[in-house]
Amino acid sequence: MQLNEVSFSDAVPVDGYGPGFFRIGGKVIEGAVIVTEKQARSWAGLQDAEALKALAGDHDVIFVGMGAEIAHLPKDLRTELDAAGVGVEVMSSPSACRTYNVLLSEGRRVALAVLPV
């Protein structure tokens, strides 16, 4: 098996996570977070649809991490994001972080919105 070092250039990867926090680009952020290739910031969570809709034009997909286990987005939030043309993939937060990092390393236009585990 051949292992390749992952390079993120100037992008902001998820370095790690734990109970109630994420370590992103070397900085710890408590609670829910939104991450793009340029920055990471606190997020108010699922009730903050505006923050997700603001990512629509610059990102092809937003990975939404629902915490330790996968769960569905609330129906009204899903409807609102669909109407705004926001591409969303829902998964557990650990899976969302890994998927975001892989696609980020490939130079893809992805964003991450995750709830803590």
- Top-confidence residue, 40 or 9: 40
Would the pTM of this model clear 0.75, i.e. be above it?
A: yes
pLDDT digits (tens, 9 = 90+) for 74-95: 999 999 999 999 999 999 999 9
Q: 48 — alpha (psi -120 to 50), left (phi > 0) or beta?
A: beta
- Top-confidence residue, 58 or 1: 58
How much of the chain is in helix, strand and coil states, percent to nearest 5?
25, 30, 50
Reply yes or no on domain 14-114 having CATH 3.40.1230.10: yes
Per-domain boundaries in the chain: 14-114
